[in-house]
Structure 1
Amino acid sequence: MNALTLPDIAVQSSHQSISLDWVGMCGIVLPILLEGQRVNARVDAGVSLDDCEARGIHMSRLYLALEMLEQEGLSPALMRRVLDNFLASHGGLANSAFLKIHSNLLIKRPALVSQLAGWKGYPVSIEAQVTNDVFHVELKIEVLYSSTCPCSAALARQLIQQQFIGDFADQPLQHADLLTWLGSTKGIVATPHSQRSTAQLQLRLHDYVDNLPLIAIINDTEAALGTAVQTAVKRADEQAFALANGQNLMFCEDAARRMNSALKRSPEIQAFHVRMVHAESLHAHDAVAETSHRWSRP
């Protein structure tokens, strides 16, 4: 039997005249160029099946089209070419094409004070879609930071005040005694609680954007929050981190408002939805706040 006679079941008519929103493959392993670095990615590729009579799509054609992603840096223009290839290879079958790329962007970060540095990983997803020649790109990014509870800080300060009154109520206050007291565990009887927290960003880019501003958005996020988690540190860096937390007390609501203001200043972002998750150290549950700007599903 030669190749011309091999059966192609997919071209047979469907037993039911029903169109499908999405048909394709998920979790395809692929190396891509992202922000100048070669990274491992998992790719979801699909098209709509608008021909109600067609039984299936040509998945191998989608798979082969993904080779384009290996050849140059990832950009909206490249993703558009891949999606156009999806549609061209499914003429008469599909009106929409979809591409999702999931990876981990590595950025080397310096310590706050010392000369140390280390790598941080940022989970990112880049999603592109074209429907009836309308194209858009969305980014999903996760950024870790520390959050110190303002309420807990106020309660800790009150306990320190009470301890101060108890220790110095019946004696004259001497400068040296005060310094000794402040540096002792007796004086600092309580500390506020803090927790590792996550900014989950969903961003829709303007149509005119020709790059993927992942690092710029990550930098803006960490600057807005002020307490990005660290990599390699010395004691001076840890002290600087404690200072940053003390100067950036925030509930999840505060963090969400900070991100709303920061993202509105980005010229590349058309719309966004943000979810701030504080993995509470006081409770067994998370504290969560969400905010959005011009966000709606197309």
Structure 2
Amino acid sequence: MNETQSKKSLPSKNERHKLFGSVEPGPRTKPQEKSKMPDLQNTKKDFLFELDAVGISNVKHPIVVPSSIKPQNQTTIGHFYFASSISQESKGTNMSRFTQQLQAYYKKGFKVNIPTMKEFTKELQERLKQKDAELTVEFPWFFEREAPYTTEAGMNHADAWMKVMYHCEDGYDVKVGLNAKITTLCPCSKEISEYSAHNQRGNVMIEVTLDPSFNDEEIDWKALLIEAAESNASARIHPVLKRPDEKMVTEQAYENPRFVEDMVRLVSSDLYEMDMVQKFHVKCINEESIHLHDAIASITYDKRKEQ
């Protein structure tokens, strides 16, 4: 049943604000000009300890990701972390300088590659007037994948990241990495069963320290790392599979059984042969299909320690 009701007579917006707690502005006695404001963060005293890092994290910002695999230029969202160390004589840092510089690079078209990241980090160190600066960005990287028989194409993705540190005396330290999804088929299951074998979805995490002179405008590190993971798996992950494709993928997995131990050793071998890789960490986690637990294995190796 429809009931009639009288039209409301509302107070003005200003009166409504007062109703819910707003008050008139108080007296303004402190200066509004930046030049007259005290800068607490630039105070110089003995502040007891040097800080390892101070900065900002969980910064989301649009970026452009170049790729050697289609799509070649991807507009996506980067998750940023910015920091620098702080001397014992410095009280703190000016947090706005991080996002000011990010905005300046965005206006120029922030293409996330190693030359740009190195330029950004060195400029940040100079701007902060500290001995070092650090920049980390995480982003989804998309790449086209064709089915093995029909060549039907679809889009896969991997979570990638770049970390660049610059020290005014020691220079650059550049790390990159990604998480790749693969298929693994259990060698033990294949060996003991009359037919069939169980398989898993594997998660391969790769992080490498690159030679500081490496330029990813010439060689795409993302394509190299995804190939190192996928080419050593029982089979690759595909977004589109028709029946002839599925037959090929399942047979390929059966022909290439892999334990997690096998995976990290095979991927590490590929990384070891890459001249621009100085150090690597590889971890594989298999989400078991016949257990509630996961299987894991990892390797860390520093080629710089070799004689």
**TM-score relative to the length of structure 1:** 0.82
Counterpart of 1:196 in structure 2 is: 201
Q: 2:293 aligns with which of 279, 285, 288?
A: 285
The residue number in structure 2 matching 1:45 is 82
Q: Is the 8 A contact 1:273 1:295 kept in 2?
A: no
Residue 105 of structure 1 is matched in structure 2 by: 141
CA distance in structure 1 between the aligned counterparts of 2:104 and 2:116, rounded to whole angstroms: 8
**Larger helix percent:** 1
Counterpart pick for 1:222 among 224, 230, 245 = 230
Shift of 1:15: 7.5
- Find 1:125's aligned residue among 161, 164, 167: 161
> Which residue is equivalent to 2:39?
8
Contact kept in structure 2, 1:32 and 1:69, CA below 8 Å? no
Measured against aligned partners, the alpha-carbon deviations of 1:244-293 in whole angstroms (never above 9, x if no partner) come to: 11011011111111101111222321210100111112222111111122
Shifted more, 34-43 versus 103-112: the winner is: 34-43
Structure 1 unpaired stretches of 5+: 161-190
Q: Is the 8 A contact 2:184 2:257 kept in 1?
A: yes
- Show CA shifts across 1:188-217 (max 9, x none): xxx311110111001111122111521232
**Is the 1:156–1:192 Cα contact (8 Å) retained in structure 2?**
yes
Q: Structure 1 residue 72: deviation in Å?
A: 4.7
Q: Does 1:82 align with 2:107?
A: no
TM-score after normalising by structure 2: 0.80
Counting only pairs closer than 5 Å after superposition, residues 227-246 of structure 1 correspond to structure 2 as 227-246=235-254
Cα deviation for residue 224 of structure 1 reads: 2.4
Distance between the aligned counterparts of 2:39 and 2:126, measured in 1? 19
Whether 1:264 aligns to 2:295 is no
Higher relative contact order, structure no. (Cα contacts within 8 Å, ≥ 6 residues apart)? 1
Q: 1:86 to 1:253 in 2, by over 3 A?
A: same
How many pairs does the alignment contain?
262
**Which residue of 269, 281, 300 maps to 1:273?**
281
Output the CA distance in 2 between the equivalents of 1:79 and 1:116.
36
Counterpart position of 2:91: 55
Please give the secondary structure, in 1, of the residue aligned with 2:248: helix
Q: 2:181 matched to 1:144?
A: yes
Structure 2: which 5+ residue stretches go unaligned? Answer: 1-30, 67-72
Q: What residue in structure 1 maps to residue 59 of structure 2? A: 28
- The 10-residue stretch of structure 1 (285-294 or 213-222) with the greater mean CA deviation from structure 2: 213-222
CA distance in 2, matches of 1:253, 1:206: 27
**Secondary structure in 1 aligned to 2:193?**
helix
Alignment of 1:175-214 (within 5 A): 191-211=196-216, 212-214=220-222
Give the whole-Å Cα distance in 2 for the aligned partners of 1:68 and 1:268.
31
Moved more, 76-85 or 193-202: 76-85
